[in-house]
Amino acid sequence: MVASKKIFGIVLAGGEGKRLMPLTADRAKPAVPFGGQYRLIDFALSNLINSGLTQIVVLTQYKSHSLDRHVSQTWRLSGLLDSYVASVPAQQRLGKRWFSGSADAILQSLNLLRDEKPDIVVVVGADHVYRMDFTQMIEAHIASGLGATVAAIRQPIELSDQFGVIDVDQNDPTRVERFLEKPIDAPGLPDAPHEVLASMGNYVFNADALIDAVTRDGERTDSNHDMGGDIIPDFVNREDAGVYDLRRNDVPGSTDRDRYYWRDVGTIDSFFEAHQDLISTLPIFNLYNREWPIFSQQLNSPPAKFVRDAKGNLGTVIDSIVSLGSLISGAHIERSVLGPWAQLESGARVVDSVVFDRVQIGPDAVVQRAILDKNVLVRPGAQIGVDHDRDRARGFTVTDSGLTVVGKGVCVEP
C-alpha cells in the first residue's frame, strides 16, 4: 500500500530550546549532543531513513549553523533516484519575517511540497529520543481514510498535565474526539482508565489536506501557527483526525524493555535522565539495536583508551559510555556518558554526569551530577556539583534537582 504512494518527510528543527540553556546558548536544540556521539536530530532522521523515506527536509531557523553543518556532513544520501536529506533555513518567502511557529514554517516552505508533489507527508519533531517504524503508521493512516494521523504514546493519567492529550472516540479508539492541552482532568482510555494517550509530536498527513490546513491557518490572526496547538485541533474539529497508538508499532530488534520508549528531552533534568536510561546493564533505551541503528557522523577518531597513570594506578569505569578518542588515565568514571575525545587524568572522579566533546578533566578533579558542554577545561583539584552555592557563584546553572551545568568552553578553576 505504501509502495504506491510518494512519501515526503519534514523535520521541524527550528526550536530555540530555552529550557535547555546553557546547552542551547550557541546551538539549536536539535543540534545538542546526546549519548556520546549523537545529536538529538539523529534519532528523528534515523527513524525516517530506517522507515524507507528518502526525500527529507530539515526546516531550521534558530542558531542553525551547527545543525546545518551536522546535517550536511552526516546525512549525505547518494543523490540517486532523487534521494536526499536537505537542511532548509527560513527563506522569508512570504515577506520579511521569520517562522512564527511550526505550522508557519511549513506554510513558508510549501514550495518544497509543490516541487515534489507527494501523496503523503510525514512531519516529525527533531528533539525526541525514541525508535519508530513510520511505515506502519503510514499504512494505518492510509487505511483510516482520514486527512491527519497523530502518533501517541500511553502515559499514566496522573502525568496528563505534562502533555498534549488525545481524547479518543469511545466507539472507535483510532479516531480523535478532542485534543486537550495539558489537562488536569483528562479522561482515561476505554481499555485502560489509568492511562492517557500523549501526543509524540509526530504526524502523517495527506499532502493536499496539510497544504489546505496550513494555508487557512496562515490567514488567521488568532492563531499561534503551531502544529500541535492549531493545525491538529483544526483537523479534530472537522472530524478528520486519527490517532496511532505506539503500541501498534513493532520496531525490528526492539526488546520488551525499550519497545515503547519515547522521551521529550526538553529540560535539563529530562535530558540527564534520558542519558541514565542508556547506561544500565539492561538499558531502558538500547543503543545497540543493529536491526534499527541510530546513525550519526562517523568521526575519524581512534578507539577510547584506558591506561595506568604515572603511579601505576588503573582507573575504573562502571555503568558508563565512553566515546571514541577518549583517554582515561587512572580516573574513576561511574554512571556517566563521555563524548568523543574526553580526557581524564590521574585521580579524577566523574560520577552521575554527562560530558560532551573534548572536555579535559585534570588530576584529582571531581565532577558529580553535572553536565559539561564542549571544550570545558576542569583544572586539577577543581570540583563541580559538590557545592551548589559555589557553583552558582561561578555562574553555572544549577537545577532544582541539583544538577550543575557548565557552558561551552568554560575553564573551571580549583
Residues annotated in a binding site for alpha-D-glucose 1-phosphate: 164, 181-182, 199
From residue 49, give the alpha-carbon distance in Å to each of 81, 86, 147, 179, 355: 15, 13, 23, 29, 28
C-alpha cell at 379: 583544572
Cis geometry, peptide bond prior to residue 22 (ω within 30 degrees of 0): yes
Going by C-alpha positions, the residue among 50, 4, 55, 35 that lies closest to residue 250 is 50
The answer to whether residues 331 and 269 touch, using CB atoms and an 8 Å cutoff, is no
DSSP bridge pairs for 255: none
For residues 191 and 248, the answer to whether their CB atoms sit within 8 Å is: no
Binding residues: 164, 181-182, 199
Cell 566533546, residue located: 357
- The distance of Cα 152 from the centroid of its chain, to the nearest Å, equals 16
Label the pairing between strands 195-206 and 148-156.
antiparallel
Give the number of residues written for the chain: 414
**Alpha-carbon distances of 359 from 29, 100, 296, 313, 378, rounded to whole Å:** 20, 36, 20, 22, 8
- Write the CA distances from 337 to 96, 119, 274, integer angstroms: 43, 42, 11
Are 373 and 406 in contact, with CB atoms under 8 Å apart? yes
